[in-house]
Amino acid sequence: MESEILRTTAQLDAVREVWQELDRRDPASEFYTTWAASRAWWEAFGRETGVELRVIVATHNGATVGILPLALETRGGKNPRRVLRFAGHGDWMGPVAAPSLPPATVYRSLITAALDLPGWDLLDLDNIRRGSPFAAHCLADPALNPHFAHRVEHPVIGLRGLTTPAQVPKKARKYRARAVRELGLRFTKHPGDTDGILDRLARLHRLEKEHLVAEHGRSERHSWSESPARLGHYQALFAAPETGAMTYCYETRDGRLLAARSTFRHRYTLLSWTSAYHPDAAAYRLGKALQLDILDDLIATGEADFFDFGAGRYPWKFEWTDAFDTSYRLRIERPHGDPAPPSPAPATPIPQPEPLAEDAGGPATANAPARLPGWARSLGAGRLYWSTRRALKRGLRKRPAK
């Protein structure tokens, strides 16, 4: 198995069709690491100083069998670090792999290529779904397991087969009835960026933030619209038809926006992205009322089987559901300031496996590097890094069972 590193926008655009086809074939692929989402992120953040593209493409017998979209990012002030991270931003991330090969084979190739990249101090892959093949691989691999830790909960509502929301917060229906009666609200839906909804949502989000800071002392609050890069990211996502962007709103009869929640679609799941309300209507609890209308609409139209609230264990999310998924984080340190490791010895080519073949043990066909750099001989972190790298390469040289 071979790997190629994509470093330019032109190279990223050239693999669009291959990436999208691989995404369609991989049932475990995630929305925020699809081609469209990664391209939108790179369009916005690629202009930032200190951000470089490092998309890893694994091929076997000339065919693309795996993609791990990464980027190098500089973090920190006085003591900056180079972080190798997903080339994207969102609640669920992960590689994409062809189902024609054992997932472990593809994942080992991608991770080994990532470890061999020069110039990074920290490998930090966040928001990996519990129960995904990639999470299972990281837990089962002795080299990755010590670096793989639980991250946060993601509440989700199952909608299939329902005629009404199964779990509704107390008084949510009363809040909705009062808001409609006293404010004359209309429930509206805006696909993509129709009617300039993203700009309207950005203004509403800033108003909510200013209200929370001034009236409730919530100094930690910020608005995504205040960051040019983040705003550009979402503008690109809203412009791409394949993201399925949809904004659900409460508007007055004269078109004034009082509450909104935006989502993206991935297969049969709606992924909640952001929400906002107007401070003038804070007493009406429009967030609960709007969420109830969203669920009623999804049940009536059958447009989604799941509504994912996104990462975070906020109590209000669990008023709507008892079900939740969880995410993990893969974090591997390389001692700061040390040189990149030497290029690995080439692994024995992997033959095309039979369908459903499992990895089988076998002797290694190449030796480990004859000597380690100074930091690896003297530092425990270096020994841990190299043990991880060697274990991954041993796994790569295992041949599938026949």
Contact 70, 55 (CB under 8 A): yes
pLDDT at 245: 98
Closest CA to 3 of 87, 65, 53, 96: 65
Residue 397 DSSP SS3: coil
As a whole number of angstroms, the distance between CA 208 and CA 212 comes to 6
User: Would the pTM count as exceeding 0.85?
Assistant: no
Q: What are phi and psi of 81, to 5 degrees?
A: -125, 150
Tell me the two tokens of residue 360.
């089988």
Over residues 318-337, the pLDDT tens digits come to 999 999 999 999 999 986 55
pLDDT at 375: 32
Q: Residue 66's beta-bridge partner residues? A: 58, 97
As a whole number of angstroms, the distance between CA 115 and CA 332 comes to 9
What's the CATH superfamily of 2-154+327-396?
Gcn5-related N-acetyltransferase (GNAT) (3.40.630.30)
Tell me the two tokens of residue 220.
């930690």
As a whole number of angstroms, the distance between CA 378 and CA 366 comes to 25
Distances, alpha carbon 69 to alpha carbons 15, 22, 35, 273, 302, in Å: 12, 13, 9, 21, 32
Over residues 273-282, the pLDDT tens digits come to 999 999 999 9
Per-residue pLDDT averaged across 55-83, rounded? 93
pLDDT at 396: 52
pLDDT at 336: 56
Contact 359, 395 (CB under 8 A): yes
Q: Where in the chain is the domain with CATH 3.40.630.30?
A: 2-154+327-396, 169-304
| Domain 169-304: CATH class, spelled out | alpha beta
Instruction: Give the pLDDT band of residue 97 (cuts 50, 70, 90).
Output: very high
Instruction: Give the pLDDT band of residue 216 (cuts 50, 70, 90).
Output: confident
Average pLDDT, the chain: 86
Q: What percent of the chain has pLDDT over 70?
A: 83
pLDDT at 378: 35
